[in-house]
Structure 1
Amino acid sequence: MMKKSNTPTEATNPSPAARPKKQALAVAMVLALGLAGGWAILRGGPAVAGADAHAHGEGEAPHEEAPSVAAPPVVAASAPAVAASSADGGEEFVELSDEQLQRQAIRLEAAGPAKLARSLELLGEVKLNQDRSVLVTPRLAGQVEAVRVSAGDRVQAGQVLAVISSQALADQRSELLAAQKRLALARGVYEREKKLWEEKISAEQDYLQARQAFQEAEITAENARQKLQALGAGAAASGTAGLTRYEVRAPMAGVVVEKKISVGEVLKDDAPIFQLADLGTLWVELSLPVQALGQLQIGARGRIQGAPASEPALTLSHIGSTVAEQSRSAMARLLLPNPRGQWRPGQPVTVALQTGQTGASAEVTVPVAVRNEALQSREGRDEVYVREGQRMVARAVRLGRSDDRHTEVLQGLSAGERYASANSFVVKADLGKSAAAHAH
């Protein structure tokens, strides 16, 4: 019986004599790694990272080492010239030096007491300025073919508002055409008879008759032309349809405040179809008590309560010459500038109207007031811009009485504080730019 070989088993499990050699090799490798780690620690090299991580894991404070690569220098951002708000998010301000204030003509003035002219408060109503409005009437009966504008549209002088088909206009134009043809014929006869008479060929009587017929034809043609001009129509356009076409044009520039016309409607010759008005200036009409008649005079200034102080003042332009029997009041009219179109006809208002009294009783002294030019309206509130160091701070204020020069400040500003009394709109514009920049 043959004996099995043990060679594979011996290759897998080394003999006891080979084990001490491998153990010695492993110890040598561990010692070599330990020496390398110690050398790295002494040199401060990357090998310290593992030790630091272990130390941090045990709760020990890390030891800061100088970085091997120099970090780029940090550059401090310069302070902006304009800031949207202070550090605590409160007041809005803009940084402006004294030189910038002078260059932009922003004048500073101290708030303090001021004398305000006494005023009379009256209820009134905004109305159209009848001197700057007009009713458009076609002056010809006919059927509406087209309407080119609507209520609220702004139109220019001479602009076509509507087109009407009128048989009466066709008759007038036909009369003009016939008169012009008769005039051309009479002119030819007159010129021929004149030449024959000058050459002693025809009698003078024939020449005189031709001249008279020519002059009568001229009068007839001119009469037909004047009739068309009175109707606001010109000569006929080319074609038969042009005889009846009547263009209604705007007599002035303004806004269409009323429209009473529609396509297909048959119009009478005296029916107003549009009302145009210039809304740049309006009227405020109010009832003036009899006892106040002696206190007011033409040219007195007034202001609408609740309107921004920067709005133009009203001017008393008319006082009625009669007094109503029941109300015992006279009608007064003020001219209201309306450059931005914020006032509308029919709107009720309360007007503080300056009295025309003389002496100390005509004025009242208030403890704190600012010039009207200093007031600005922003985000639905009244503001003044106060000087604090090198900043102009937006200060919300509550306003009281006013006249054409000063406005009383009830809250938000103290006497002695310096504010921008001229060109304050420049500060407002800078604040707007700053807010837009911070929004982005």
Structure 2
Amino acid sequence: MAITKKQKAAIAAIIIAGALGCGAVLLTGGTKGSSEEDHGHAEHSEAKGHDDAEHHGKAAGEGHPDDKDHADEEHHETAKKGPHGGNLYTRGGDTIELAMSEEGGEARLRVWATKAGKPVAGGLSLSGDLKRATGESEPLQFKPVKDFFQSDASIDEPHVFDATVTAVLPGEKAPLVAKLSKEEGKIELTAEQVTKAAIGVQVAGPAKVQSGLQFPGEIRFNEDRTAHVVPRLAGVVEAVPANIGQQVKKGHVLAIIASTGLSEQRSELLAAQRRLDLALTTHDREKKLWEEKISAEQDFLQARTALQEAQIAVQNAQQKLVAIGASAASKGLNQFELRAPFDGIIVEKHLALGEAVKEDANIFTISDLSTVWAEFVVSAKDLGHVRVGEKVTISSTSFDSKAEGTVSYVGSLLGEQTRTAKARVTLVNPGMAWRPGLFVTVNVLGEDVQVPVSVSSDAVQEINGQNAVFIAVPGGFVVQPIKIGRTNGKLVEVLEGLKPGVRYAAANSFILKSELGKASAEHAH
């Protein structure tokens, strides 16, 4: 039978539609109703990548983000929220839940496993690792506890990590993988915010750092420039123009004291001066009479002797006044002006208006704080490293300033009880920042030593009683506790907690510490 043109067109349309349908099946790898067994079909577009016998629990037609990593025969699932608040992974009737739990001040990972809805108590193989923001990896081992499995080792802060746990349930060959990410304490900052805050980022690495020993110390008055002012005569206080904490110059009047003893000494000086005047007049007259041969030489000699004795008496009376710091009478004979012996600050004051004071009473203490002492004790085993002239750096946890100096004194005797010797550093104290009573750390420097990991000294902050730095991570910074060693005031050796190549906040890290404090106030463990 002849086929018309219309019939030919219809047949061609059917053939083209069929070809397009086959192409669509080949491109999509199957229909939405394809079962898991269809993964091994020759027409599956992912068949070439699935020669690892891996089980993928995803709906057909969905994109699989882990396809390129599937050569480990693992089962990967999208995590859901589990009954214990962790990440829940399911395959058929098998489930594992991974979570972090904090108890008794320690954080550990916990795994709950079920098979057909019943908890798995034995026959479960668990292993994993925890990757820190610094790039360090820690192996994870688990042991059964009650109805769950718990990591043997606690997880140290900061709790910023990616944990991966592989579980093989009883009767199964393909492992089930659970993942957990934590970013507790992360300070989120954009690149623009980091630039605006002038937070400088550097890379931890090897450097030459001076070896040294650190000693706890205390700032004290420079006793060579500290005076306990006493009146040196008894009396009653008539005025006290000086106040505690006042900066005074040498000769500044501290107090005015009325003293009968001073009145007597000034009276003695006045009497001696009158006798000197009389002796001088008599001497001049007798000398003239002797030269004119009117009187005998003996009279002239007696007048000269009397003059010399009067001069001695005046000098003696003047020296008595000088010895107590008094001058000749300007107003009242009994008024004594107590003056500052040198420039300094009044740090103690022990008298009041109308008070009677003794000649040896310690009524003022004045110290010149332009220089102070940093005192520390040195054990017998460290005396060989602490010598006069050794360079030191002084630092305090109370503020960020540091000072440099040299050891000015090392005691030659050991204390009978402590078996230690005292040592001190004389510090120049501009602005009087180093105040007596301040606790400091004295770092006695030695030779340069090559260290594998070092950071800027400005980067180290004290957080919760530990030294720490802020390491740069995507989207911000996290605090990383470290153990420090030698320092030269500019660089600090890192003994534990940091690897070479890690980026950290070197400048203005105190801003991050402030932000961390705000976050800690809102975070409850």
State if a TM-score over 0.5 links the two structures.
yes
Judge conservation of contact 1:125–1:347 (CA < 8 Å) in 2: yes
**Structure 2 counterpart of 1:392:** none
Judge conservation of contact 1:368–1:415 (CA < 8 Å) in 2: no
5+ residue gaps, structure 1, are: 1-84, 95-108, 384-395, 425-440
**Structure 2 counterpart of 1:367:** 453
**Structure 1 counterpart of 2:437:** 346
Higher RCO by CA contacts (8 Å cutoff, separation 6 or greater) = 1
**Structure 2 counterpart of 1:290:** 380
Matching of residues 56-135 of structure 1 within 5 Å: 88-92=192-196, 113-135=206-228
Instruction: Please state how far the C-alpha of 1:420 moved relative to its aligned partner.
Output: 12
**Structure 1 counterpart of 2:389:** 299
**Structure 1 counterpart of 2:329:** 236
Q: Could you tell me which of 139, 143, 162 is aligned with 2:232? A: 139
Matching of residues 17-416 of structure 1 within 5 Å: 88-92=192-196, 113-238=206-331, 242-300=332-390, 301-306=392-397, 311-354=402-445, 356=446, 363-370=449-456, 403-404=487-488, 406-408=490-492
Amino acid at match of 1:299: G
CA deviation map 1:30-74 (0-9, x unaligned):
xxxxxxxxxxxxxxxxxxxxxxxxxxxxxxxxxxxxxxxxxxxxx
When the two structures are superposed, what TM-score results if normalisation uses the length of structure 2?
A: 0.51
CA distance in 2, matches of 1:130, 1:323: 21
CA deviation map 1:342-395 (0-9, x unaligned):
3322233333322x4x6xxx735153445x7x9999xxxx99xxxxxxxxxxxx
Amino acid at match of 1:91: T
Judge conservation of contact 1:313–1:404 (CA < 8 Å) in 2: no
Instruction: Please state how far the C-alpha of 1:112 moved relative to its aligned partner.
Output: 5.3
- Secondary structure of the residue that 1:144 maps to in structure 2? strand
Amino acid at match of 2:354: G
Query: CA, structure 1 residues 221+321, in 2 after alignment: closer, same or farther (shift >3 Å)?
Result: same
Judge conservation of contact 2:221–2:372 (CA < 8 Å) in 1: yes
- Secondary structure of the residue that 1:313 maps to in structure 2? strand
CA distance in 2, matches of 1:113, 1:282: 36
Q: RMSD between aligned alpha carbons?
A: 4.1
Query: CA, structure 1 residues 117+87, in 2 after alignment: closer, same or farther (shift >3 Å)?
Result: closer
Amino acid at match of 1:408: V
Judge conservation of contact 1:113–1:415 (CA < 8 Å) in 2: no
Judge conservation of contact 2:372–2:429 (CA < 8 Å) in 1: yes
Judge conservation of contact 2:258–2:334 (CA < 8 Å) in 1: yes
- Secondary structure of the residue that 1:126 maps to in structure 2? strand
Give the number of aligned pairs: 306
When the two structures are superposed, what TM-score results if normalisation uses the length of structure 1?
A: 0.60
Judge conservation of contact 1:310–1:375 (CA < 8 Å) in 2: no
CA distance in 2, matches of 1:195, 1:203: 11
- Secondary structure of the residue that 2:301 maps to in structure 1? helix
- Secondary structure of the residue that 1:172 maps to in structure 2? helix
Amino acid at match of 1:159: H
Instruction: Please state how far the C-alpha of 1:305 moved relative to its aligned partner.
Output: 4.7
**Structure 1 counterpart of 2:89:** none
CA distance in 1, matches of 2:203, 2:339: 56
Instruction: Please state how far the C-alpha of 1:121 moved relative to its aligned partner.
Output: 2.4
Instruction: Please state how far the C-alpha of 1:280 moved relative to its aligned partner.
Output: 2.1
Amino acid at match of 2:243: S
Query: CA, structure 1 residues 255+398, in 2 after alignment: closer, same or farther (shift >3 Å)?
Result: farther
**Structure 2 counterpart of 1:72:** none
Query: CA, structure 1 residues 194+398, in 2 after alignment: closer, same or farther (shift >3 Å)?
Result: farther
CA distance in 1, matches of 2:257, 2:450: 62
Judge conservation of contact 1:366–1:408 (CA < 8 Å) in 2: no
